[in-house]
Chains A and B, each alone.
Chain A
């Protein structure tokens, strides 16, 4: 069974940093592209970042470019998101999601709240 489990969310002050993790199991992680998608409270879905299976290709949404860094450790079956210079508008549930075109498996999400 495919499982994606996010962790690392929490309350952080504006300008602060957080590192999200996503532990993958039930599939060959090294063969799949991965993404972070977020959802602000009561709002829709926003794709945030993509990383190819080998980490050779990485894309970001303009809203996070230069502040967030996506990475992966294939030996640990894990996906990461380093989030720096956090803003109030980054408050959201962050999901890791598998896929390149469409996202066929999603984690349960981790809540990031940016507030003073």
Chain B
């Protein structure tokens, strides 16, 4: 099983600032990585797939990069609606596995 490790666990950011979230895979997943956003009481929402392709309706301030074992989700200028928990997920092997999440909170 591929273990996904996200860092940091919590990121405190002021509105308008840049946020950088990291995700590491225990073995290469090529570019087969997705990111999800989850707000309290809601289902997860797909943000990014194939490392850097934004899902439908996702604003351009979200960008993804990386390959192999190291990946990054960047939010260029945090808006109030972006404060949430973010999960990475590898899509390369079964079982599909998620990171433990990064909570982006208001500083």
Using a CB–CB cutoff of 8 Å, the interface residues on chain A facing chain B are 35, 37, 44-47, 50, 59, 61-62, 95, 101-109
Distance in Å: Cβ of A83 to nearest Cβ of chain B: 17
Q: Is the CB–CB distance between B99 and A95 below 8 Å?
A: no
Taking chain B's interface residues, is the majority helix, strand, or loop, or is none over half, making it mixed?
loop
Is the interface on chain B under 10, 10 to 19, 20 to 34, or 35 or more residues?
20 to 34
Q: Is the CB–CB distance between B99 and A109 below 8 Å?
A: no
Using a CB–CB cutoff of 8 Å, the interface residues on chain B facing chain A are 1, 32, 34, 36, 38, 42-46, 49, 55, 87, 89, 91, 94-101
**In the complex, A37 Cα to B89 Cα: how many Å?**
12
Q: Is the CB–CB distance between B34 and A44 below 8 Å?
A: no
Q: Is the CB–CB distance between A102 and B43 below 8 Å?
A: no
Q: Is the CB–CB distance between A46 and B43 below 8 Å?
A: no
> A44-B101, A101-B32, A101-B34 given as contacts; is B95 within 8 A of A106 (CB)?
no
Q: Is the CB–CB distance between B98 and A47 below 8 Å?
A: yes
Q: Is the CB–CB distance between A50 and B94 below 8 Å?
A: yes
Please name the residue on chain B nearest to A4 by beta carbon. B43
**In the complex, A107 Cα to B99 Cα: how many Å?**
20
**In the complex, A105 Cα to B46 Cα: how many Å?**
7
> A103-B46, A106-B44 given as contacts; is B96 within 8 A of A47 (CB)?
yes
Distance in Å: Cβ of B84 to nearest Cβ of chain A: 13
Q: Is the CB–CB distance between A102 and B46 below 8 Å?
A: yes
> A101-B32, A101-B49, A101-B91 given as contacts; is B101 within 8 A of A106 (CB)?
no
Distance in Å: Cβ of B62 to nearest Cβ of chain A: 15
Q: Is the CB–CB distance between A102 and B94 below 8 Å?
A: no
**In the complex, A103 Cα to B95 Cα: how many Å?**
14
